[in-house]
Amino acid sequence: MPPRTTPNERQRRLGSELRKMRTAAGMTADQAAGLLGLDRAKISNMETGIRTISPERLRTLACNCDCSDPAYVEALIDLARPAGRGWWERYRGSLPAGMLDIAEFEAYARRMRTVHIAHIPGLLQTSDHALELFRAVLPPLPEHEVALRLAYRVERQQVLEGDAPPEYVVVVHEAAVRMRFGGRGVARAQLEHLLDMSERPSVRLLVLPFAAGTFPGSGQIFNYLEGPVPQLDTVQVDSTHGPEFLSGEAQLAKYRTHLDRTEHLALSAEASRDLIRDIAKSL
């Protein structure tokens, strides 16, 4: 296949895993090139996600790198196979690539965990709530951009639909639940939507109350997306300049611990629903 000009985040992730496998085995790029019958430049392009790798060559590389985890190797092979055109590709060239990468990771995730302090997670937002947030972006977005982002947000939410949606574990701070974006009516409708979504078998919604006091982190918004094997988990961190994707072993362990401790501090699912109902009634 011809090389890509702009690999997406999942393609870059495959390349970084190939590099990690090679360097862990003490194999040089020249040695990998000789093993696979390629020139060194193609090895470099594979490891940056610019060029793909065939299943046969991936298995050969894994075998000679003494990679003894067959589930991990098969997961890499699945990652290397050409994927069908996802719905998010319709927005390529219109929305930032990082936004599309989020949708692609969500589409392939086995389980998703997230922590939000001041905002309701995008996958659980009503359209009116999302509109308020998009219209608060600085510098202000023109209305056609707002409409485009809203349409994209609604399509992203479809990942929670269907016969076998991924498990979605959400921790929202009480501060987020009490926010009145769009006024009382919009806020009340948003809380009612949260309650409806929390009744789904695949959604576990937990509220971290003010009374919990100190909690891990500094209010950072992040999503933990579990892959087919733990080595292919991904953390997506939100920032004002766009999403950042983390996959280092120590980084994944840190965010798993963060999630475990925050979920432990949160109210139970039923107590969380009771708190949300009380807040909705007060609006």
Peptide bond into 139 cis (omega under 30): yes
Structure token digits, residue 175? 């501060």
In a domain, 1, yes or no: no
pLDDT at 134 over 70: yes
Q: What is the CATH number of the domain that holds 271?
A: 3.30.870
Residues 175, 262 within the same domain: yes
Q: For residue 4, what pLDDT band results from cuts at 50, 70 and 90?
A: low
Please compute the mean of the pLDDT values over residues 166-172 and round it to a whole number.
98
**pLDDT score recorded for residue 2:** 53
Residues 63, 98 within the same domain: no
| Partners of residue 104 on adjacent β-strands | none
Residues 95, 198 within the same domain: yes
In a domain, 2, yes or no: no
Residues 218, 250 within the same domain: yes
Choose the final residue of a domain: 58, 80, 102: 80
**How high is the mean pLDDT of the chain?**
94
Residues 102, 18 within the same domain: no
Looking at this protein, which amino acid is placed at residue 187?
A: A
Determine which of 94-98, 131-135, 218-222 has the lowest per-residue pLDDT on average.
Answer: 218-222
Residues 211, 263 within the same domain: yes
Residues 66, 114 within the same domain: no
Look at the chain and report how many structural domains it folds into.
2
In a domain, 4, yes or no: no
Residues 173, 67 within the same domain: no
Report the percentage of the chain scoring pLDDT > 70.
98
pLDDT at 3 over 70: no
Choose the final residue of a domain: 80, 100, 126: 80
In a domain, 3, yes or no: no
Residues 52, 101 within the same domain: no
Q: For residue 220, what pLDDT band results from cuts at 50, 70 and 90?
A: confident
**pLDDT score recorded for residue 106:** 96
Looking at this protein, which amino acid is placed at residue 165?
A: P
pLDDT at 260 over 70: yes
Choose the final residue of a domain: 80, 101, 130: 80
Residues 100, 49 within the same domain: no
Structure token digits, residue 18? 């190939």
What are the CA-CA distances from residue 157 to residues 46, 48, 219 (Å)? Answer: 32, 30, 23
Q: What is the CATH number of the domain that holds 14?
A: 1.10.260.40
Residues 96, 152 within the same domain: yes
Q: How many helices (H) and strands (E) does the chain have?
A: 12, 6
Range of the domain at 54: 9-80
CB-CB contact of 189 with 256 (8 Å): no
CB-CB contact of 237 with 222 (8 Å): yes
244-246 and 167-173 as β-strands: parallel, antiparallel, unpaired? unpaired
Report the percentage of the chain scoring pLDDT > 90.
90
Please compute the mean of the pLDDT values over residues 235-255 and round it to a whole number.
92
Residues 176, 106 within the same domain: yes
Please compute the mean of the pLDDT values over residues 217-235 and round it to a whole number.
91
**pLDDT score recorded for residue 217:** 78
pLDDT at 1 over 60: no
Q: For residue 22, what pLDDT band results from cuts at 50, 70 and 90?
A: very high
